Chain A
């Protein structure tokens, strides 16, 4: 077992553990913290695949900005932990387990045979390379995303604004 494999298994376990905790933890605030942990692991995986800039953006934008928004709203709404409520259709649990097994087997089969990446090259997704792409071939979509963000900001402001009586 190589060092790279150990790193992969460790970070993958971090990501999966965080993801499972998001789904299973009853308190949304703990779920948000678990999701931040998961995103940190994901960022490490990006760096393992030579995407340094994406890894940094993942930490700054996802784990920093977006999750801060989530935690802020959770605390603002003062959300209680979900109380126990019995599921409405108990037999669906027995249907769900084999279907989930089937889904995972199908997904695994679809992607497991992919070859490639046997000899990692020295190239990496640095800011320079990604930025060059962003500013030449993808200039129009890049500018459109700034319009999208402006729209989202105005829309969110309008939605969250308290209406005057």
Chain B
């Protein structure tokens, strides 16, 4: 298992080094930093999504995990708005689809928060804990 992981990691790192040594790709990496255009917002959204994913993976408190999920949803919203902006400048007929989709995401996030926190209250009443690793009723 460990050797498999190590070999996978080594190949991934060599791939990354190969990518980084290509000058045209470096140009693409740096392009997003020059102007405030859609790509900057996409990069920011990717970073926010990664932070949220990290929070989901490393935290034990379910409330904090919920908040990290909200962060990931917001990253997706930022992507929708960035592309809506892009289609606006292209004069597309469907330029506001991204806005509508963002509204739907916000609504679903509100419903999810209400239901999730209700579940959390019921859980706390029964188990006296909200640490994700201490809730193992369904674990064998």
Residue numbers of A with Cβ under 8 A of B are: 2, 4-5, 8, 12, 15-16, 19-20, 22-23, 28, 31-32, 35, 38-39, 42, 45-46, 48-51, 53-54, 57-58, 61-62, 65-66, 69-70, 73-74, 76-77, 79, 82, 85, 95, 98-105, 107-121, 123, 125, 129-130, 133-134, 137-138, 141, 145, 148-149, 151-153, 155-160, 162
Q: How far is the CB of A135 from chain B (nearest CB, A)?
A: 10
Interface mask (B12-47 → A, CB under 8 Å = 1, otherwise 0): 110010011000010011111001111111111111
19 pairs across A/B with beta carbons < 8 Å? A23-B68, A45-B44, A54-B103, A62-B70, A70-B63, A85-B60, A98-B12, A103-B50, A104-B47, A104-B50, A107-B49, A111-B45, A112-B29, A114-B38, A116-B37, A125-B84, A130-B99, A133-B96, A156-B118
Measured in the bound complex, the distance between the Cα atoms of B86 and A69 in whole Å is 34
List B contacts of A160 (CB < 8 A).
117-118, 121-122
Asked if residues A102 and B85 are in contact (CB atoms below 8 Å), the reply is: no
Asked if residues A46 and B54 are in contact (CB atoms below 8 Å), the reply is: no
Measured in the bound complex, the distance between the Cα atoms of B79 and A126 in whole Å is 19
Asked if residues B64 and A15 are in contact (CB atoms below 8 Å), the reply is: no
Measured in the bound complex, the distance between the Cα atoms of B69 and A23 in whole Å is 11
Q: Which residue of A lies closest to B86 (CB)?
A: A116
Given contacts A23-B55, A125-B84, contact A149 B107 (CB under 8 A): yes
List A contacts of B25 (CB < 8 A).
109
**Interface size range on B against A:** 35 or more
**Looking at chain B's contact residues, is the secondary structure mostly helix, strand, loop, or mixed?**
helix
Asked if residues A130 and B111 are in contact (CB atoms below 8 Å), the reply is: no
Q: How far is the CB of B31 from chain A (nearest CB, A)?
A: 6
Nearest 4 interchain pairs by C-beta: A152-B111, A156-B118, A159-B118, A111-B42
List B contacts of A62 (CB < 8 A).
70, 74, 106, 109
